[in-house]
Amino acid sequence: MMKLSDILYGEFEIEPVLTHLLNSTPVQRLKKVHQGGAIFLVDPAINHTRYEHSVGVMYLVKKLGGSMEEQIAALLHDVSHTAFSHVADYIFENINEDYHEGIYQDVIMQSEIPGILKKHGFCYDILFREDYNILEQPLPGLCADRVDYTLRDLFHAGLIGIKDVHHFLTQLVLQDGKMALRSVEAAEWIRDKFTELNNDYFKKPEHVYANIKLAGLLKNALEKGIIKKSDLLKDDFEVLARLKTDPDSNRKLEDIKSMARFKQFAVAGATQRFKRRELHPAIFCCA
């Protein structure tokens, strides 16, 4: 058993198959893919990654008694995210913000993951099931994916503290196989914090500026042949290194970091691209 340590959840152990997958190339790549896309370019303090999020989602599934198959799916659910995460959705004008989901199966099948799963007695098709009810739920419900990114983004943005996280975790339960909360108070807290996250973090003008401007830069770099579409499945730093080889792209990148012409950036119009998100968590009902 391997012991992991997470900034939100503390120490916990994982089974050999999860350890093997954790050390695979697709999962290790996520250590250099920022959860917030290009936000780190304008706010270097916000630099948590898809790797941390993936480990966190796996932990929540494990904590709530999810099967080993669901824990595996949780750990691997984001391996197809491109460099800079959802920035790819802006590049390709994907209004559903699910570009990574569309390429998920191809990424899995072209990697060492099926071989690792087979070695531990699992078939790769467990990753493509749609009945993992702890891992994923449509809005406005709770699920491990949504809970982790909400808590993690809020924490790194300084909008909640670690005591808030730990208290909220005590309120999580399963009801009919899905996440629910023990109290109305906990439901109202996460509902309000989710709204705050969307309004004050995702739609923060500086953050919108960074992601939209980088998307434009990457789209231009693709058109000019500075990077290839396949490069987007490398990590953030590899793609940045490619951009820096082109003087014009490098200048534009430095402009993003210094927030050049930020005052002229039409934030109001840019935020209209974001999906409307609300949470209405289920409340646990005792029999």
What is d(CA 187, CA 271) in angstroms, rounded to the nearest whole number? Answer: 26
| Candidate from 16-30, 91-105, 149-163, 261-275 with smallest mean pLDDT | 261-275
pLDDT in tens, 67-76: 999 999 999 9
Inter-CA distances, 29 with 16, 82, 88, 140, 243, Å? 20, 10, 16, 30, 19
φ, ψ for residue 279, nearest 5 deg: -115, 135
pLDDT in tens, 74-121: 999 999 999 999 999 999 988 889 999 999 999 999 999 999 999 999
pLDDT attached to residue 242? 98
pLDDT attached to residue 264? 86
- Mean pLDDT of all residues belonging to the chain: 95
pLDDT attached to residue 269? 59
What is d(CA 261, CA 64) in angstroms, rounded to the nearest whole number? Answer: 47
| Structure confidence at residue 270 as a pLDDT band (50, 70, 90) | low
2-205 maps to which CATH number?
1.10.3210.10
Query: Of 200, 172, 175, nearest to 186 (Cα)?
Result: 172
Omega prior to 44 cis, within 30 of 0? no
pLDDT in tens, 117-156: 999 999 999 999 999 999 999 999 999 999 999 999 999 9
pLDDT attached to residue 286? 66
Domain residue ranges in the chain: 2-205
pLDDT attached to residue 287? 45
* pLDDT (average), residues 202-213: 94
| Candidate from 97-111, 214-228, 247-261, 262-276 with smallest mean pLDDT | 262-276
| Structure confidence at residue 265 as a pLDDT band (50, 70, 90) | confident
